Amino acid sequence: MSESNKTPEGEGSLVYLVGLLAGGLTLGFGIRSLYWSFGVPGTELNQSLDTMGNTGLDNLQLLDAANYSIGMIVLGVIVMVALNNFAWRYTDGY
């Protein structure tokens, strides 16, 4: 029984912990920066839609922040999935 419930020890657990923190922070900052990724260039989104009304929805587009925010989300998800895969292999699925 004790062999099936192995816990990471030593350097492996430190790498796992650092990877978990880095992946979580990368994913979190990517999701947080999505707020600045969509809108109307040059003005705030709320002010633009207030002056243009419903026709302002056609002017929505990706802004410069979308270049790094979407990449950060993808990188964070890849790191988290890889760490989950490592944990499942190390503990034999438990």
C-alpha span between 10 and 54 (Å, rounded) = 58
Show me where the domains of the chain are located: 12-90
pLDDT, one tens digit per residue, over 27-54 is: 999 999 988 888 777 777 667 677 777 7
Q: At what angle do helices 65-90 and 11-32 cross, to 10 degrees?
A: 150
Contact 23, 80 (CB under 8 A): yes
Location of structure tokens 């109307």? 40
pLDDT, one tens digit per residue, over 61-90 is: 888 888 999 999 999 999 999 998 888 887
pLDDT, one tens digit per residue, over 24-33 is: 999 999 999 9
